[in-house]
């Protein structure tokens, strides 16, 4: 294999889900407390569990989706070792601060260990919890599983209305889908 081919393969793998780099986690994070103050009770309950890893599998996840009836939901399936997931995190941080009084954001930490996920959440805090999904059962239940990240959009009745499989190619596309699928009625 030529040196050029090795460099190309190295760059390809470094940009994929195996990468541990990405995102600007040392920078300024949103002021979640200020931005989300006065959230409705079901959304405030999510914010109270910020950065928590919630066990319980598909049953716990589905129970939370049902408890959020009346609010659209953005559920992001991620892993700490996934480079594209890490690149989407700063966008999800900003969007959850901006729209978190009207939209429920939740995470699904898939194919990851709790220790590495918790360490990553210390670097990249979120305003919402993530459900642990080490065996990908939650991801499979929503039709995800071709790769990470995946983002599921539910309407205010809890019906899955769109699933974006794989990473967004640009931050503006993620925000556009939040507006299209989660804020279309609001």
Averaged pLDDT for residues 64-80: 97
pLDDT at 25: 55
Is residue 133 within 8 Å of residue 110, measured between CB atoms? yes
d(CA 44, CA 104): 9
Give the residue among 122, 103, 109, 127 at the shortest CA–CA distance from 30.
127
pLDDT band at 185 (very low <50, low <70, confident <90, very high): low
d(CA 91, CA 25): 11
Whether residue 111 is predicted with pLDDT greater than 70 in this model: the reply is yes
Q: Report CA Rg, the chain.
A: 16
Which residue is listed with tokens 């954001």?
Answer: 105
pLDDT at 27: 61
pLDDT band at 170 (very low <50, low <70, confident <90, very high): confident
Q: Cα dihedral sign for 31, 64, 56, 138?
A: negative
Annotation: CATH topology of 38-182: Glutaredoxin (3.40.30)
Q: What is the pTM of this model?
A: 0.85
d(CA 183, CA 72): 7
More confident residue, 153 or 169: 153
Give the residue among 96, 91, 76 at the shortest CA–CA distance from 150.
76
pLDDT at 12: 31
Whether residue 83 is predicted with pLDDT greater than 90 in this model: the reply is yes
Two structure tokens written together for 123: 């670097």
d(CA 40, CA 61): 20
Q: Each residue of 88-102: pLDDT tens digit?
A: 999 999 999 999 999
């Amino acid at each position: 294999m030529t040196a050029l081919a090795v460099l190309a393969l190295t760059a390809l793998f470094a940009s994929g889900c195996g990468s541990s780099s990405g995102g600007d986690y040392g920078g300024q994070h949103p002021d979640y407390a200020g931005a989300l103050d006065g959230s409705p009770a079901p959304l405030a309950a999510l914010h109270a569990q910020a950065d928590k890893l919630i066990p319980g599998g598909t049953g716990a996840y589905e129970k939370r989706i049902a408890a959020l009836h009346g609010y659209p939901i953005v559920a992001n399936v991620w892993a700490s070792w996934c480079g594209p997931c890490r690149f989407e995190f700063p966008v999800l941080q900003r969007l959850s601060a901006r729209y978190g009084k009207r939209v429920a954001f939740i995470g699904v930490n898939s194919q990851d260990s709790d220790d590495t996920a918790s360490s990553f959440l210390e670097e990249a805090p979120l305003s919402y919890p993530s459900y642990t999904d080490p065996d990908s059962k939650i991801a499979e239940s929503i039709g995800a599983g071709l790769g990470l990240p995946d983002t599921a959009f539910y309407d205010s009745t809890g019906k899955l209305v769109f699933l974006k499989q794989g990473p967004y190619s640009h931050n503006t596309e993620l925000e556009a889908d939040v507006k299209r699928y989660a804020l279309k009625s609001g």
